[in-house]
Structures are given as structure tokens and as C-alpha cells.
Structure 1
Amino acid sequence: MATTTAPKPPTSTPSEMTAKELLRWSWRQLTSMRTALVLLFLLALAAIPGSVIPQSDVDAFAVSRWQERHPKLTPVYEKLQLFSVFDSAWFSAIYLLLVVSLVGCILPRTRVYWRGLRAKPPTAPRNLTRLPDHATYTTDEAPDEVLARAARVLQGRRYRIETRGDAVSAERGYLREAGNLLFHLAVLVVLAGFAIGSLWGYKGGVIVVEGNGFSNNLTQYDDFVPGSLMRASAMEPFSFDVDKFDITWLMSGPRKGMAQKFVADLTYRETPDGEEKKYPLRVNHPLSIGGTDIFLIGHGYAPRITVRDGNGDVAYSGPVIFLPEDQATFTSFGVVKAPDARPKQIGLEGLLYPTFLMVNGNPTSVLGDDRNPRLSMLAYAGNLGMDSGDPQSVYVLDKDRMKQLTKDDGSMFRVDLFQGQTVDLPDGAGSVTFDGMDPWVRVQISRTPGQGVALAGVVLALIGLLGSLFIRPRRVWVRVRRREGDSSGDDGDGTLVEVAGLDRSGGGDVPAELEQIVAALQGRPQEEKS
């Protein structure tokens, strides 16, 4: 008896994909237009935390203050890199995936478009009267004359034509797909512009007190974020002085108490030995020097403070930058350090109220203008820790080796001073004098070499979008044939002309277009109705 051998079971089910097939499928998904749109949307969403959460490369002090107020959220935000969103790994991943997806979309579509651009208009369908938009009429002209006229009429209406036998095929609107490709290519150009600025550009911030100046070198910046390929030698050697800062406060009307005008009068030099020039620096009106832009982005107050130590010597004297905590009233926080004080170093931290007023027993500032400035600070004596060699922020007081000064009865001591007043510190530690007020301005200095590229990309995207919206691809066919005569042997009843059109973009004025074409073929004015 014959025996049969059972077939071996397959090593894999038909639904399973090999590694090569999986890679091909993944590539197709990544380079699909839907994925590109999703990634573009995700990139926009990913940028939101960068505008809501303080960023370390924009305002390091704001980040530190936020972290002090949210100690529980800070570790989470740090792990998620939310304090440096645009440098984070996840933002860069979305950015790079979007670039790859756009390239994968554009290349194959460009090949298809190039083949379609060179292809001839499609052959006329067998039965034109079955198309949704069509028209027919009869004429005594010979078929060849009608075909020749149809070719001229359609060429005059910017159609590309091809005559095949008894029909003329015409097509136009090829630039619609070019508009789509241009739009996607423009997005790549915009991304490339941002990448160029991130790699070869830089951005920094500095606070300059009225009457002081700034030179464009790394040591002068309060915070500085260079691009990965940025070189210090590429920085323009300019400098500027803040001669005066003018601000106008509204004292009546619904916007009472708000600032209206900000102008920082600068004297600048493009080179160390260059000619001095004047410029009124205003919000949204940056000063451009070479490829670098200088923006006015903030302002505040720097009270002039003199600290004398226990020996009566001046340990510190000058303006101290206080940073606003409330943009409406400009209540500001600041730190004073006197490392030269003897026998103990002195540190102060507290608030500045530009227009001081007691409201319900609580100190507050009712106006951002410095009409009644008052300092309220805590005093410390000891070791500021500045001799350890570790860098310290000028806006943070290290109190680990400091002792808070108190009154003789042990109660809290505060340095409360109006302008022009002096207060003695407990335990003979010294004295503090509030000499006056100076305004300061915060400027952002940035060099973005890819700015022109990004702007060109935006313009190209707009052109491509307009082309894809308003250019309609359309096909028109004209077929002619002699009508058959009757049984008596008549040569015929004339030439039957069939005209049909198809709008490939969906919804268009095809009937009106056909009516104009038929009118032109019949030699009638286009305004005349059939």
C-alpha cells in the first residue's frame, strides 16, 4: 500500500512580514503625506511648552525662580527637558522625522509629476456624451476644419493638445501639482533655515543699566546660547552704551498705570575704532549690525545702594539689578553682596517697591513708575561662599554659611529704606544706604544666518499654496464625425461635434467653460447663450 508524507508546516504564516517587508512598510508609512501632516502638527504642539515654560537659554533666572516655586514639578520637568525644549532630544526627533518624511514625499511625487508633465493628453473616451458635462451640435463644415479650429481654440485657452484621428484631446492645470510640490519643498526650506540658524547662529541676553555699556564678546553676556558650529570669531565686534531710557506711564483712562512707550537711546560703534552712531531702540524695532540683531525685550530698576561694614569702610557701592516679579506693578526681587565687608561679609535679599503703599497692612507697589521707591530686605552676615571658586549667580544669595541678622530681642530685622535713607545693621555689622534709582534695559542679541532662507521658504510656501488652491487641472475633448445620410443617397446631414470636459479637482465651472468653447467653435460671441 502506498504511503503519503504529510507536508511540512510552513515556517511562517502568510500574514507575517519579513524584515525587508517590514522596513519597506515602515518607510512607506513614514513618507506618506498623512504622516508628514501629523509630524508637522506634532512639531507645532511641541513648541507650545517652549513658549509657556521658562527656558534656560532665554531667562535662566526665571527658570530658577520657577523651580523654587515648584519643587515637586522641577525634577519631572528636568527629566522631560522642558526647560530647554528646542534643544531636547524629543523635539529634535520630531524635527528630523519631519524632514525625512517630507523628503520621502517629495522625491517620488516629483518623478511622477515629471512623467505626467511630459505625457500627452489622454485619448478621448469612446462615448463623450456619458460624461457629466458635455455638449453637442451639428455644423455644415468639414470634420478637418472643425478639428483644426478646435485645436486653435483650445491652444488659445492655454490647453496642451494632441490630435488623434477624429478627436482633439486637451489638458491644462499641470502647475497645480507643481504648487503642491513647491509647498512641501518650501516647508523643507523653512526647516533648513531654522537649522542653519541653530547651527551657526547664537543668541544671548544682557541687562545694561542706564549710563553703562556693552561690548559684543562672550564675557559680557548674562546668558549665551551658541550654535553647535558657531565660532566666536564670527561675532561682530560692535559695542553700545545706553545713554537714556524713556518710558511713559498712563495716569488716566482705562489703562491707568500701564506703560505706553519704551525707548532706549543707544550710542553704538560697529567696530572698536568705528564712528559713533545713535539709534532709538524700541520694542519690535531692533538695531541690526551686520548679521546681528539687537532687540529691546525688558526693563526694570537698579537701586543704587551703599553698604558699609563694621569698620565704617565702603564694602559695596553702585546700582544693583532687581528683577521684576510682577509686570503690572514692577515689584522686584534682588540680591546685594558685599564680599569686601569686614569683619564679616554682608548679604542682603529682598524686594523693591517702585511706588510703595501699605494696603490692608501689607506692603505693595501700586504703580510701575518709581514715584515712591522703597526697599525691604533681609540682612545676613557671614561667608558668602564666593571664595570657593564655584560660579555664583548674582541673583541668588548662598545662605549656607550666613546668619540672618536679628534685633536685640531676637525678632526679625528688615532693611526698610526709602530713597535717601540709611539704616544701621544689628551687632555693629555696618549700615545700608539707599542712594537712588537707575533704570535698566534687557536686550537680546541674536545672529540667525538662516533667517533669509526661512523667509524665502515662507514666500515659496505661500506661492505653492495659492497655486494648489486656485489652479484647476482640467481635460477637454472634441470629437467630430460626419452624420450618415439617408437611403436616398444624400451625402449626410452635416458634421456632428461632441465636446466634453472633466474637472479633476472636483467642482468647477466646467459647464461655463464648455459653453465658451462651443461658442468659439461655432464662431459666436462668448456672451451669447446657446
Structure 2
Amino acid sequence: MTVSELAVEQPPAGGQPPGRRTPGILSAAWAAARNGWRQLTSMRTALVLLFLLAVAAIPGSILPQRSVKVEDVQRYYAANPGLAPIVDRLWGFDVYASPWFAAIYLLLFTSLIGCVTPRLADHVRAMRTPPPDAPKNLHRLPQHAELATAVDAAAAKAALRGWRTVRREQADGTVTLAAEKGFLKETGNLLFHSSLLVILIGVGLGSQWGWHAGRLIVAGPEQVFCNTVQQYDDFGLGPRIDAGDLPGFCLELTDFRAEFHDNGMPISFEADVAVSDAAHGDLGRRSFQVNHPLRLDGANVYLLGHGYAPVLRYTDAAGVTQETVVPFPFTDPTLTSSGVAAFPDANGSDKAKQMAFEGLYLPTANQAPYITSEHPEERNPALMLTAYRGDLGLDAGIPSSVYELDQRQIETGRLKRYGEAKLLRPGETWTLEDGSRLQFLGTRQWITVSIRHDPGEPIVLTGAVLLLAGLPLSLYGRRRRVWLRLHPDGRAEAGGLPRTEYPGFEDEFRSLVERWQR
């Protein structure tokens, strides 16, 4: 053999022949993938991922979220101009839509599926498999007993009511009874872990196809609210939902009833609304309360709070009259409320003569100084107002709250205080220096509602029921086996084996032996 032939037949230094490298690489990759799958589908990994999911949700509770309120994100940018862009690049304002949150969510979802599915198959197989025959040496089991009297096989089997029992007869005439009990423990375990999977499915479905919105509704036919994005005070739509998918219903607040204790603590709130939609027209009047929402086709309406909206009529110096209903948000539990009534069209088109009235509404005002109300009911209503005249800044294009004056206009002198503050009772009129008049006509009720639709809610409820059903079964279920061997000569012996830790098994076995002997 020549040197060249030897060189061809020799394998490359430090490795196997070229034709055998690929199977080795594939085998190593398959082993790594198999081990990775085993680690991912272990219960320890599932618990770690569940903990990580809870930790990952913390920023969504601390930081403002765009899906909840964009204005809060804008305020965070204004307060933290250096930090906010970094937080935004890390998806801090869109935590639940971030790729890292979705990765944890999907890994947990996969881990639970891979963990529960094999255990479910094993559990079904175990339930279909009959209990094994009695061991040859029953005296080696943790529980063993020799029965002093002869035992009838039929009577012994009847004493095992509630146990899964199999009777076997041997060739020598020996009869054995094998009984098993406690499958509910593993059933509870599977229900518990399956419930987490069901809850994850429901939460994921709700986050994609769900939506929520908030709205303040004032009583009165001209204050009807229709379910459109333009009329929301704030809203959040799921990624799979757009404005055209919202159900088309309208609500008119017709009445509101509130009961309070003498100390001002609330007893009950109940709102009456007239409901209509484009498909069916007038749907009649409905009532709903706190924790008892108004359930409509495609949405639930929850009652959150209520307050008062002063009704004001302003007549300018030229005799032009305007009337407005202004909701005043409350600032304390006694419904002391503050707000602004603006009249931008007063005194013609001159911006320098626009009017606004800022003040407090007290449902129960007793004596000066009129700062807070003494009770949330309207027992002695009073409205303390301060007039302002000038440019309200409504045409500046800068977002501002409708419940307070633009402080920038006041600081720059474009909007100035006009006269002294005035206390008005319902029906009273305030005449200003230029001859214009403001009349306090009374108040209307307003309510704040949360309108929500979550298609995953029934699935989450099902998961919660499964969790509550499976947890006690997994904690208190005990799997165990007992055997009874009846010899042809009349001797009988019994044995028992707990499949899980069960401190009470000795007493249960002793009670079972006593029933056999009787």
C-alpha cells in the first residue's frame, strides 16, 4: 500500500470521518432540544415563569400606560424629559403589549401545556388500569393484619364501597380483592394546573379583543351619551378592535338616588337610564347600582361615582343669554365640588371680554367661611363663585382641563379676576359691574360610568372555578391501596399501602379490617 493510499484511508486528525460528522451534530442538537423541552415543561419552570409574569406586570402598575390614559404618559414626559424616552424604548408605557412580556406569557403558556398534557394522559391511563393483584408477601407492606375469623368474599367486597375493587381467583382456590382509592388528588392537581392555562387563555383573549372606556353623564335629554370614541372621556381599545366594532347604544340619565347615613357615609347608589340603539330603537328604562352593572348587548356599564352639576344662566351686557350645565367634580366625601363655568361667546366675538366663573359647590353649607360641605345630600345648597374676564385661551390649541381655568392666561394677565366673590343660593341672581347677570338655576345629578367588554371574562371565570375546585382536592386527596387474600383453608390476611403521605391511613386500614372481621 502506497503512502498516498494510507493518507486517503486515514481519518482526519482529531475527529471522525467526514461522512459521520452530520449524524453526530444532529444527535447532539436533538439531545439539547429534548433536554430544553424537559426543562421548559417541568413544574419548577412553570412556577418560575409564573413568578416572572407577576414581576413583569409591576411596571404596568407603576408607570402610566398608553392603553389606559395617554394624558398620564404625556405628563410623565413633561415631568421626566430625560428618563421618559428611555422608559419608552423599553416598552415601559406599553408593558402588556411589549415583546418581553409576550415572551414570558407564551413561554408560560407552552410550559403549562407541556406539563399538563403528559400528566393528563398518565392519569387517564392509571384510572383505566385495574388495581394490581395482591403482593406475594403482604406482611412486608406498611400495614398488615391477620384476620381471626373467616371472611366471605362477597361481604368483604361490599365493605369496600367507594373503592375501585377487582376480585381475582387463583388456580389453588385463593381469592384476592384488590382495591384502590384517592384518584381525586391527581384529578385536583390537573384541574388546578389546567385552570391556570384556562385563565391565561381568557386573559389573552380579553387583552386582544376587549375594550374599556370612561364617561361622565349628566342628567337631561340634551346630555344623552352615545357609545362612540368621540364621546369618551378616556378609553382603551384592544389591538384587534377599532372604533367601528363598538356596539351602538345610547344612554340618557333620567334619575339618580343616593342614600347616606347621618355621618355622610353612603348606603346605596342607584341610577336610572333610558337605553336605545340603532337596531331596536327605544329599549326602555333600566336601573343599575354599584357592583350590579347594566348589562347590554356587547358591553357592561358599571356605576363608579356621582356628583352635582350646577345649572347657570348668563346674560351679557348686550342682553344675550346663554345657559350651561357644568359638572363639578367632588373633592371630598361630603361632595364639596369645584369647577368652572365658561362662556366664551359672551359679549360678542371679543376675546378680551370672554367670561368664566370658578368656584365651589356645597350641597350642605352652614355658615361662613364656606369652604367645605357638611353632608353629601343637598340640605342647604350654596354656590361660591369668582368671576374672571378676558381671553380664556380656548383657541390656543393647547390641551387643558375643562374643570379649571388656564393658569397661563391668568399669569400673563390675559384673564383677570372680575369683581368680588359671590355666594349664590338656588334661584338667586348675581349682577356684575358691567350690568351682566348670572343666575344660579339649581343643579342636576351626574354619574361616572365605566363601559367595558371583555370576551375572555367567562373563560377566566371558568378557570377560577376550576382552580377553586381543584385546589382542595389536590391538598386533601390521598391515594392508597388495600388487598385482602382469602385462603382455601379459611385464613385471611390483609395489607395496605398509601401511595402518598397519609398520616391517617393506619386508622382507616384498622377500621376496614374491623368491618371485614364483622
Could you tell me which amino acid in structure 1 is paired with residue 212 of structure 2? Answer: K
SS, match of residue 121 in structure 1: coil
How far apart in 2 are the matches of 1:201 and 1:50? 18
SS, match of residue 371 in structure 2: strand
Identity %: 36
What residue ranges of structure 1 are gaps of 5+ in the alignment?
Answer: 1-6, 9-17, 483-493, 525-530
Select the residue among 504, 507, 510 that pairs with 2:505. 510
Select the residue among 366, 369, 378 that pairs with 2:374. 366
- C-alpha spacing 1:249/1:518, structure 2 compared with 1 (3 Å): closer
Q: Is residue 69–residue 235 contact of structure 2 (8 Å, CA) maintained in 1?
A: no
> 5 Å matches for 1:279-428?
279-307=286-314, 313-314=320-321, 317-326=323-332, 328-341=333-346, 342-344=349-351, 346=354, 348=356, 350-355=358-363, 363-370=371-378, 371-377=380-386, 379=388, 381-382=390-391, 384-386=393-395, 388=397, 394-395=402-403, 397-398=405-406, 400=408, 403-404=412-413, 415-419=421-425, 420-422=428-430, 424=432
In the alignment of these two chains, the number of paired residues is 479
- C-alpha spacing 1:132/1:445, structure 2 compared with 1 (3 Å): same
- C-alpha spacing 1:334/1:78, structure 2 compared with 1 (3 Å): farther
How far apart in 1 are the matches of 2:69 and 2:259? 25
Select the residue among 446, 454, 460 that pairs with 1:454. 460
Select the residue among 274, 290, 299 that pairs with 2:281. 274
How far apart in 1 are the matches of 2:396 and 2:49? 50
- C-alpha spacing 1:392/1:206, structure 2 compared with 1 (3 Å): same
How far apart in 2 are the matches of 1:356 and 1:520? 77
Deviations 1:334-368 (A, max 9, x none): 34444434311636474423247699968333333
How far apart in 2 are the matches of 1:454 and 1:246? 33
Could you tell me which amino acid in structure 1 is paired with residue 494 of structure 2? Answer: V
SS, match of residue 197 in structure 2: helix
Deviations 1:264-296 (A, max 9, x none): 222223546534422222212222122322221
- TM-score, normalising length from structure 1? 0.74
How far apart in 1 are the matches of 2:313 and 2:74? 26
TM-aligned CA deviation for residue 135 of structure 1: 0.9
TM-aligned CA deviation for residue 58 of structure 1: 5.9
Could you tell me which amino acid in structure 2 is paired with residue 475 of structure 1? Answer: R
TM-aligned CA deviation for residue 204 of structure 1: 1.5
Match of 2:3 in 1: none
- TM-score, normalising length from structure 2? 0.75
- C-alpha spacing 1:311/1:275, structure 2 compared with 1 (3 Å): closer
Match status 1:205 vs 2:210: no
Match of 1:131 in 2: 141
What residue ranges of structure 2 are gaps of 5+ in the alignment?
Answer: 1-12, 15-27
Q: Is residue 379–residue 415 contact of structure 1 (8 Å, CA) maintained in 2?
A: no
How far apart in 2 are the matches of 1:414 and 1:104? 74
> 5 Å matches for 1:432-447?
433-447=439-453
- C-alpha spacing 1:358/1:37, structure 2 compared with 1 (3 Å): farther
Could you tell me which amino acid in structure 1 is paired with residue 247 of structure 2? Answer: E
Deviations 1:61-116 (A, max 9, x none): 8x599969x94699669758777765566665554443233223212322332343
Deviations 1:8-47 (A, max 9, x none): 8xxxxxxxxx887776555544433234345445656776
Select the residue among 457, 461, 470 that pairs with 1:464. 470
Match of 1:98 in 2: 108
Match of 2:254 in 1: 243
How far apart in 2 are the matches of 1:272 and 1:219? 20
SS, match of residue 281 in structure 1: strand
Q: Is residue 248–residue 261 contact of structure 1 (8 Å, CA) maintained in 2?
A: yes
Select the residue among 26, 30, 41 that pairs with 1:31. 41
Q: Is residue 65–residue 73 contact of structure 2 (8 Å, CA) maintained in 1?
A: no
SS, match of residue 372 in structure 2: strand
Match of 1:498 in 2: 493
RMSD: 4.4
- C-alpha spacing 1:113/1:229, structure 2 compared with 1 (3 Å): same
- C-alpha spacing 1:127/1:176, structure 2 compared with 1 (3 Å): same
- C-alpha spacing 1:192/1:380, structure 2 compared with 1 (3 Å): farther
Deviates more, 1:499-508 or 1:85-94: 85-94
How far apart in 2 are the matches of 1:50 and 1:413? 47
- C-alpha spacing 1:352/1:369, structure 2 compared with 1 (3 Å): farther
TM-aligned CA deviation for residue 130 of structure 1: 3.1
How far apart in 1 are the matches of 2:259 and 2:148? 81
- C-alpha spacing 1:329/1:423, structure 2 compared with 1 (3 Å): farther
How far apart in 1 are the matches of 2:438 and 2:229? 33
Match of 2:21 in 1: none
